[in-house]
Amino acid sequence: MGELRYFAVNDIEDRNINIYGRLGRVRQPLPLLFNGSAVEIRVSGSDLWIEVETDNDFHEPWVAYELNGALMGRQMLLPGKHRICLFRNMDPAGIKTVKFYRELQAMSEDEKCKVLVHGFELNGEFHEVRKLTRRLEFIGDSITSGEGSYGAVTDTDWLAMYMSASVNYAVMTAKELDADYHILSQGGWGVFCGWDNDPRHNIPKVYEKVCGLVTGPLSKELGMDEPYDFTSWQPDAIVVNLGTNDITSFSQPPLVNPEDGKTYKMRRNEDGSLNREDELKVENAAVNFLKMLRKNNPKAHLAWCYGMLGCDLNLTITEAIAKYKEETGDTNVSFFQLPNTTMETFGAHMHPGKKSHENATAALTAYLREKLNW
C-alpha cells in the first residue's frame, strides 16, 4: 500500500468528482448546504479518508457515507475538524465509489451549523466518475428533510438526528432514476406559511438565494444569502412537495409574529371547511411560486407531488395550478398525489418512516419515468 496523499476538493479534476446539491461562490472548502448535499469520488487504493470541518450550536450535523452505493456509516459530527476513514485495507486495485453526504437539512434555526469538506487522503488514484445527465430538483418541508426517517415511532423530540438523506424519497427517487439532484427543504415550512401560522416560514422567499434558509455571519461568509445562479444547473423536472404545513396551520392556534407584532391565523369555517380568503392566500402563494420556478427554470417540468401526510390540500393546490396555467398558458406542469403514510409506515413523531419513503419512491419513480420519457 502506498502512502496517503492529500487532495483538496478543488485539486480534484471535474471529471473525477460529482457534487450533489446547490452551490454558491464558495467551493473550497466545499460546503454541504442541504440534506443530501454530497461529494462523490471513484478511487483505487486501499485506504481513503475525508477531511471535514463542522460547527453548530443546538443542532449538530449528521453525515453518512456509502461505499459502492451501500450505506456503511452514519454519525453525528460535533464542532471541529474531523478526519474520517471511509475505508481501509481494501483491495488496492479495485475501484471504489464513495459518496459522503449531509443527513441534516439546511438548518434555519442554527446559524452556526455547517459541514465543510476540505479534501481527501488516499493511497490510490482518482478515476472518472459517472456523470449523471438527468437532473431533478426537490423542494419540500420536513418530509423532504427526512424527518422521522430515523428514530423510534414513540420519539417526539425535534432534533437533528431524526432527519436524513439516507432514508429519503427524494434521494432514493433520484438514485432509481439515475439522476443528479438538488434538495431544498425545511421542516415546518410551507408555500405560504409554516405549520404554526408563521408567515415568515415560506419556501418561496428563500428559493432564489443560494441557501436563504440560513442567516447570520456564516451565511455571509459562505455566500448562502447571495442570489443563486440558476444558469449553473437546470433541472429536467422540479418536484414540489409543499402544502403539508400550510394545511396544518388551519388547525393550529394563532401566532404572533415578533417581527411585526401582528397575529396570524389561517381560519376554518364553522363546518370545518377552509375559510376561502385564507385558502386563497395559499393558492396565490402557490401560483406565484410556480411563476418563480418557471422564471428560473424555463424548461423544467413542474410536478407538484403531495400527499405523504394526508391530501387535504389537493383541491387547493390543483386550483392554484389551474390558475397558473390559465394566467401563463404554461402546460408543462402537473399534479401527482404521493401515497399516504399509514400506521404501518410511520417513522418517528408521526412522520414518514422508511417504508413510506420507499412507497413514495416507487410511485414517484414510475410517474417521472413516464412523464419525462426516461
Name the amino acid, one letter, at 320: A
- Which of residues 210 and 348 has its CB atom nearest to a second copy in the complex? 348
Contact between 181 and a second copy per CB under 8 A: no
Q: Which of 4, 8, 67, 292 binds a second copy (CB under 8 A)?
A: 67
- Which of residues 87 and 101 has its CB atom nearest to a second copy in the complex? 87
Q: Is the peptide bond before 29 cis (omega within 30 degrees of 0)?
A: yes
Contact between 366 and a second copy per CB under 8 A: yes
Considering only the stretches 68-76, 114-122, 229-237, 285-293, report the one whose residues sit in contact with a second copy under the rule CB under 8 A. Answer: 68-76
Q: Which residues contact 299 (CB under 8 A, 6 or more apart)?
A: 234, 236, 332
Strands 255-256 and 263-264: antiparallel
- Which of residues 103 and 225 has its CB atom nearest to a second copy in the complex? 103
- Which of residues 215 and 334 has its CB atom nearest to a second copy in the complex? 334
Shortest gap between Cβ of 348 and a second copy (angstroms)?
A: 7
Residue 320 CA: distances (Å) to CA of 244, 266, 282, 289, 316: 15, 17, 8, 10, 6
Considering only the stretches 182-190, 215-223, 254-262, 326-334, report the one whose residues sit in contact with a second copy under the rule CB under 8 A. Answer: 326-334
Contact between 74 and a second copy per CB under 8 A: yes
Shortest gap between Cβ of 286 and a second copy (angstroms)?
A: 13
For residues 105 and 184, what is the distance between their CA atoms, to the nearest angstrom?
Answer: 8
Which H or E run includes 297? none
Largest CA distance in the chain: 74
Shortest gap between Cβ of 210 and a second copy (angstroms)?
A: 27
Q: Which three cell numbers stand for residue 93?
A: 486495485
Helix, strand, coil share of the chain (percent; to 5): 25, 30, 45
- Helices then strands, each counted (H, E), the chain: 7, 18
Q: Which of 1, 78, 256, 350 binds a second copy (CB under 8 A)?
A: 78
Considering only the stretches 148-156, 214-222, 235-243, 259-267, report the one whose residues sit in contact with a second copy under the rule CB under 8 A. Answer: 148-156
Considering only the stretches 10-18, 85-93, 212-220, 286-294, report the one whose residues sit in contact with a second copy under the rule CB under 8 A. Answer: 85-93
Q: Could you tell me which of 56, 235, 66, 30 has the C-alpha nearest to residue 165? A: 66
The answer to whether the CB of 199 falls within 8 A of the CB of 93 is: no
Beta bridge partner(s), residue 62: 76
Q: Which of 307, 352, 356, 361 binds a second copy (CB under 8 A)?
A: 307
Contact between 273 and a second copy per CB under 8 A: yes
Taking residue 55's Cβ as centre, other Cβ atoms within 10 Å add up to: 18
Shortest gap between Cβ of 277 and a second copy (angstroms)?
A: 14
Please tell me the count of residues contacting a second copy according to CB under 8 A: 58
Coil, strand or helix at 20 = strand
- Is residue 186 classed exposed, middle or buried when 0-12, 13-18 and 19+ CB atoms within 10 A define those classes? buried
The residues that touch a second copy, with contacts defined as CB under 8 A, are: 58-60, 62, 67-76, 78, 85, 87-91, 94, 150-152, 154-155, 157, 159, 161, 269, 271, 273-274, 307, 310-311, 314-315, 318-319, 321-322, 325, 331, 333-337, 339-340, 342, 348, 363, 366-367, 370
